Amino acid sequence: MNAEDLDAWFNAKSTAEVNEGQLTFLGTAPDKPVHHHQNRIRITEDSLASGWTELEQCHDNLDAVPRAQITFRAGYIRNLRLLESRAIGKAWVEGASVQLREVGTGARLCLAAQTRALNDSGSGYFTLNNGPYMRKFLDGYYPMQVSLKLEYPAGLLQIIDISPPEQTGFRVRQKAGMVNIDTLFEGELRTQVQFERLR
């Protein structure tokens, strides 16, 4: 890329419109496939005492880059292991992260772990916090799809609030013992599900 090409790239309209971190839900998917982050979280009766939940996570349409990483908060993740890897030269667990090398087009990665995400708020209330979810490159944030499937013991807990609230680009479906969230956004997304203990 010569100096003229570089100048044109920096001044391009698409560069000027790059999201700088504010959360924006998208009603329409971009033309190109976006990184799809899928979480399945299972809360058990033991989770109510320990805070530890079961996590299965997959990533589809990862960006084709020489190096990438998926990071977790140290001390809040254990038994992290890889389940599946496709179109990735090398993937391995390193501390509270998964390191990736030579990520190709159409790459997929799946992992499993236990995550300490359920907080006892006291007086029979619990909060499940997730995120931040983001697709960040250099100083910009790009479109990302997140699907969250949450399973919980319906005889022990009921959902009393989900944040952010349902809106265009953030769809919520519920039934006893399960909630599904599907969202398309730019920026940084944090979700929170609040529960009340029934017995």
Report the alpha-carbon distance of residue 12 to residue 125 in Å, rounded: 49
What is residue 4's predicted lDDT score, i.e. its pLDDT?
59
What is residue 55's predicted lDDT score, i.e. its pLDDT?
98
In the chain the domains, ranked by start, together with CATH numbers, are 30-50+117-199 (2.60.40), 52-116 (no CATH)
What is residue 109's predicted lDDT score, i.e. its pLDDT?
98
Tell me which residue of 135, 145, 146, 61 sits closest to 105, measured CA to CA: 61
Phi, psi at residue 151, to the nearest 5°? -115, 135
Phi, psi at residue 191, to the nearest 5°? -115, 155
| Helix or strand (DSSP H, E) at 15 | helix 13-16
What is residue 6's predicted lDDT score, i.e. its pLDDT?
44
User: For every one of its 199 residues, what pLDDT tens digit does the chain have, with 9 covering 90 and above?
Assistant: 445 554 454 455 455 566 677 999 999 999 989 999 999 999 999 999 999 999 999 999 999 999 999 999 999 999 999 999 999 999 999 999 999 999 999 999 999 999 999 999 999 999 999 999 998 877 789 999 999 999 999 999 999 999 999 999 999 999 999 999 999 999 999 999 999 999 8
What is residue 139's predicted lDDT score, i.e. its pLDDT?
79
Tell me which residue of 63, 47, 56 sits closest to 79, measured CA to CA: 56
What is residue 13's predicted lDDT score, i.e. its pLDDT?
41
What is residue 47's predicted lDDT score, i.e. its pLDDT?
98
Tell me which residue of 75, 60, 71 sits closest to 116, measured CA to CA: 75
pTM above 0.85, yes or no: yes
